[in-house]
Chains A and B, each alone.
Chain A
């Protein structure tokens, strides 16, 4: 039988390829916990909401941590394909975490454990614009405000998840899974700050350009040492699209543009005008905290707010990395900053990537300040 020809060399191959690498047992170093159980890959009948978890929201929202100490989160972010709008008249079939680009925001506290489930549902139609039961705040928010005008679609591909907030062996936890498969793994938010997550399946340039990225915000155990409370917290993600008109009405991935660092759109929160159509809100005299992440995939961001100076900036969101009085924060691909700013007076403030080529490709937004309250 033909097959036997194949089996013999492959069995030898197996014998020579090393039979056991033990899973590192859990241990603690510098107060941080390492050594997570081995990831599990399996198939399941799950067809519920693609995003599950109490502290998972849609941009620019961040769910406040209304619990004391540490918590063990169960979070699901499934991979689904959605036709989305990224600018007026520009729609494409995005590869997404949870249905939007960027994906949902996960909020945890430093030291929290996350048990993460992700089903690759790229080969099934999943609707996220209708109310669902048992989902996350994200599901409710996107159903009420589907600003990317999401429509379900199918484009089966293998995918994976790489949480920059996690410290694990990538060949185990960040494994690629095929359509119909589910992966489950644990990680611990050992370091405070804002961290991107993205698909790590090659071509990473293609997978991330197609929309597979998002942010985890890890609030420091002791908070930021400021002596004040902020009045508003917003999450801002900058990212690039590389799109070209396809044969029909839809746009498609433009490999040449992506390979030559020439995005068609550079945007905040996944849509060219969303932060103008739906401005962020605050009042004069208030303090606003921005969690800003540049998810790339390839560009930098020189984040600035017209009319403001950043009172305090924590690079990567780590409380030890404090800077004061910055006009602009430079973020490389997958860098982040937590920024506190005082809103000086009633009026309009424009968030901008001060690399003006990016601003004029869409990387701007509005913060609308109301009158000063007493």
Chain B
């Protein structure tokens, strides 16, 4: 059983490498926001008392939209619905689109998050932008920079976040940038819109945690509602495989500070 899982993981890694070999060219990008270095306490087991250190990086202000993904597909035909190799996606890839290059704006509206894209496709998109998916720790570190210091206010926010995880309305997604949830650094919609792919969404520890009824409790040693919500998010994300395409998962890209194409340290659009 374990052996099989490891083979699957290994295969996934090799495919991840292979998926980057498909030709991909960049398109217009979303505003990039500088997330300065810092540290945070994750809900995954860590060295006791040692917070996780995160280097500074850049991340898109908002998640990738259908329009942006369609632009990407124009110059990257191998990732179109009719062309994408089945090893890189389950059935249902861009299922709601009218055709290879036409998102279904009549039904979903414009400026909505692209969803029903596999982790492989999300990788390819970000690669074409000169970026990558944010790592699990980068994404989580950024997400908790909410600037809410009052415990009661934080509990209230976390409660509504937990309820949101039980009711993501995949058929009626709002426009990107409209949730009103913005980190102190200016990253928008990490909560309240869609869940997001990250580079290492299924860390090795996922196996050891043996996801079950006790997992939420074990992740929540501090009895914090924010951590309770986070544990639901970690567990949901860890339960995916990279070929999955669902209506509740989108993505945004991250960029190393040192990327040459990155012209403005203050986060202006390219």
Identify which of residues 46-76 in chain A touch chain B, using a CB-to-CB cut-off of 8 Å.
none
Cβ-defined partner of B9 (8 Å) among A10, A18, A256? A10
Query: Is B159 close to A, CB under 8 A?
Result: yes
Q: Counting CB contacts under 8 A, is B132 at the interface?
A: yes
Query: With A and B bound together, what is the CA distance between A338 and B169 in angstroms?
Result: 40
B240 close to A (CB within 8 Å):
yes
Query: In this assembly, does B239 line the interface, its C-beta being within 8 Å of a C-beta of chain A?
Result: yes
Shortest Cβ distance from residue A229 to the other chain B in the assembled complex, whole angstroms: 40
Known A179-B244, A180-B92, A252-B163; contact A157-B13, beta-carbon cutoff 8 A? no
By the criterion CB–CB under 8 Å, are A19 and B9 in contact? no
Residues of B within 8 A of A171 (CB): 1, 210
Can you pick out 14 interface pairs between chain A and chain B where the beta carbons lie within 8 Å of each other? A6-B200, A17-B204, A19-B3, A38-B1, A38-B4, A123-B247, A154-B247, A157-B236, A158-B239, A180-B245, A202-B211, A203-B235, A206-B232, A244-B163
A246 at the interface (CB under 8 A from B): yes
Q: For the complex, what is the distance from the CA of A160 to the CA of B43, rounded to whole Å?
A: 22
Tell me if B170 is interfacial: C-beta within 8 Å of chain A: yes
A176 touches B239 (CB 8 A): yes
Complexed CA–CA distance, A3 and B244 (Å): 20
Kindly name the residue among A11, A154, A172, A244 whose own CB sees the greatest number of chain B CB atoms within 10 A: A154
**Which residues of the other chain, B, contact A11 by a CB distance below 8 angstroms?**
10, 13
Interface centre among B208, B212, B248 (most CB of A within 10 A): B212
Bound: A279/B6 CA distance, A: 54
Assembly CA distance A1 to B159 (angstroms): 41
The 8 A-B pairs with the shortest beta carbon distances in the complex, nearest first, are A158-B239, A156-B246, A253-B166, A255-B162, A204-B213, A13-B204, A176-B239, A179-B246
Does A115 lie at the interface of the complex (its beta carbon under 8 Å from any beta carbon of B)? no
* Interchain CA distance A23-B3 in the complex, whole Å: 11
Interface residues of A (CB under 8 A from B): 1-4, 6-7, 10-11, 13-14, 17-21, 23, 38, 43, 45, 93, 123, 154-158, 170-172, 174, 176-181, 200-206, 210, 244, 246, 252-256
* New contact pairs (15) apart from A10-B9, A19-B3, CB-CB < 8 Å: A1-B20, A3-B16, A21-B3, A23-B1, A38-B4, A123-B170, A156-B170, A158-B239, A158-B240, A170-B210, A176-B211, A178-B240, A179-B246, A205-B216, A206-B232
Question: A123-B246, A154-B247, A156-B170 are known contacts. Are A201 and B163 too (CB-CB below 8 A)?
Answer: no
Cβ contact within 8 Å between A201 and B204: no
Q: Flag if B163 contacts A155 (CB, 8 Å).
A: no
How many angstroms from the CA of A171 to the CA of B249 in the assembled complex? 25
Task: Evaluate contact between A19 and B92: CB separation under 8 angstroms.
Answer: no
Q: Is the CB of A201 within 8 A of B239?
A: yes
Shortest B41–chain A CB gap in Å is: 19
Inter-chain CA distance A180–B95, complex, in Å, is 12
- The answer to whether A200 and B167 have CB atoms under 8 Å apart is no
Q: Does B165 contact A (CB under 8 A)?
A: yes
**Interchain CB contact (< 8 A) of B239 among A19, A178, A253:** A178
- Residue in A43, A201, A253, A254 whose CB lies within 8 Å of B235: A201
B241 in contact (CB, < 8 A): yes
Does B231 belong to the interface (CB within 8 Å)? Answer: yes
Question: In the complex, A206 Cα to B2 Cα: how many Å?
Answer: 28
The residues in B between 177 and 233 inclusive whose CB is less than 8 angstroms from any CB of A are 199-200, 204, 207-208, 210-213, 215-216, 228, 231-232
Residue ID in chain A nearest B10 by CB atoms: A14
Instruction: Name the CB-closest residue of B to A12.
Output: B204
Q: Which residues of B contact A93 (CB under 8 A)?
A: 167
Option from A13, A178, A202, A206 in Cβ contact (under 8 Å) with B166 = A206
Contact A43 B207, CB 8 Å, known A7-B13, A154-B247, A210-B166: no
Chain B residue contacts of A174, Cβ below 8 A: 212
In the complex, are the beta carbons of B2 and A180 less than 8 A apart? no
Which residues of chain A have C-beta atoms less than 8 A from B211's C-beta? 176, 201-202
Q: Do residues A255 and B163 form an inter-chain contact, with CB atoms below 8 A?
A: yes
Question: Does A253 lie within 8 Å of B204, measured CB to CB?
Answer: no
Interchain Cβ contacts within 8 Å, total number: 134
User: Which A residue's beta carbon lies closest to that of B115?
Assistant: A156
Q: Specify the chain A residue showing the minimal Cβ separation from B14.
A: A7
* Contact among A123, A177, A254 for B92, CB-based, below 8 A: A123
Q: A residues within 8 A CB of B171? A: 154
Question: Given A158-B239, A206-B162, does the pair A178, B17 have CB atoms closer than 8 Å?
Answer: no
Bound form: Cα–Cα A7–B207 in Å: 17
B74 at the interface (CB under 8 A from A): no
Q: How far is the CA of A3 from the CA of B242 in the complex (A)?
A: 15
Taken together as a complex, chains A and B put the C-alpha atoms of A45 and B90 apart, in Å, by: 11
Q: Is the CB of B159 within 8 A of A203?
A: no
* Residues on B with beta carbons closer than 8 Å to the beta carbon of A176: 211, 239
Cα–Cα, bound, A20→B4 (Å): 8
Contact A202–B159 (Cβ < 8 Å): no
* B224 shortest CB reach to chain A, Å: 13
B91 part of interface (Cβ distance < 8 Å): yes
- Give complex CA distance A93, B199 in Å: 31
Distance in angstroms from A40 CB to nearest chain B CB is: 10
The residues of A that contact B235 with a CB separation of less than 8 Å are 201-203
Instruction: Specify which chain B residues have a CB less than 8 angstroms from the CB of A246 in the assembled complex.
Output: 167
**Measured between alpha carbons, how far is A13 from B13 in the docked complex, in Å?**
13
Task: Provide the residues of chain A in CB contact with B215, threshold 8 Å.
Answer: 202
Contacts of A13 in B (CB 8 A): 204
Q: Which residues of A contact B245 (CB under 8 A)?
A: 180
**B232 near A252 (CB under 8 angstroms)?**
no
Q: Which B residues touch A253, using CB under 8 A?
A: 163, 166-167
Q: Does B168 contact A (CB under 8 A)?
A: yes
Closest to B213 in A: A204
Evaluate whether A17 and B2 lie within 8 angstroms (CB atoms) in the complex, with A156-B248, A255-B162 already known: yes
Instruction: Name the CB-closest residue of B to A208.
Output: B213
**Nearest CB of chain B from residue A264's CB, rounded to whole Å:** 13
